[in-house]
Amino acid sequence: MSSAPTIQLFLYGKWLFNIDQAQALLKEHPRDAQPTPVADWAAAYHLDRLTPGYDSAPWCPVFGPDQSAFSAEHALQADLDEPVIIATLVLDDSPAILLIDGVHRVYRAMTEGLAILPAYTLTTAETTRIRAR
């Protein structure tokens, strides 16, 4: 008996993004990876609070990983050559970007002092296609 394959998803508030579909879309419509700043994403996801030296009060962010669901050990094995995936949404009639795949890579890059990571950015139409809800 075999189990069903695991689908990689990213939940952000009420939105759910299908990462497997995003990766398939990127294979169908290849593009060059562009640099994205590690420090900006690390700050946005409060990754500094996931380091072993963080000794303040326990916390659980509204968005992004929390200490109960994040594996620093796994992150330190992440492939930094694999581009992260950034979605483009429209909020208040303006484009906004959201990292939907690569939080572990950003954490590793942050701990290693890297300034940038390669990234694929989806258009708003592509982002709509891979949103499960």
Q: How far apart are CA 101 and CA 78, in angstroms?
A: 12
Q: In the chain, what are the helix, strand and coil shares in percent, each to the nearest 5?
A: 30, 25, 45
Tens digit of pLDDT for each residue in 26-53?
999 999 999 999 999 999 888 877 766 6
Is 15 strand, coil or helix?
Answer: strand
pLDDT higher than threshold 90 for residue 55: no
Question: What contacts 55, CB < 8 A, 6 or more positions away?
Answer: none
CB 114, CB 38: distance < 8 Å = yes
Q: What is the DSSP letter of 87?
A: E
Q: How far is CA 27 from the centre of its chain?
A: 18
Tens digit of pLDDT for each residue in 69-115?
677 888 899 999 999 999 999 999 999 999 999 999 999 999 999 99
pTM: 0.87
Q: How far apart are CA 120 and CA 19, in angstroms?
A: 12
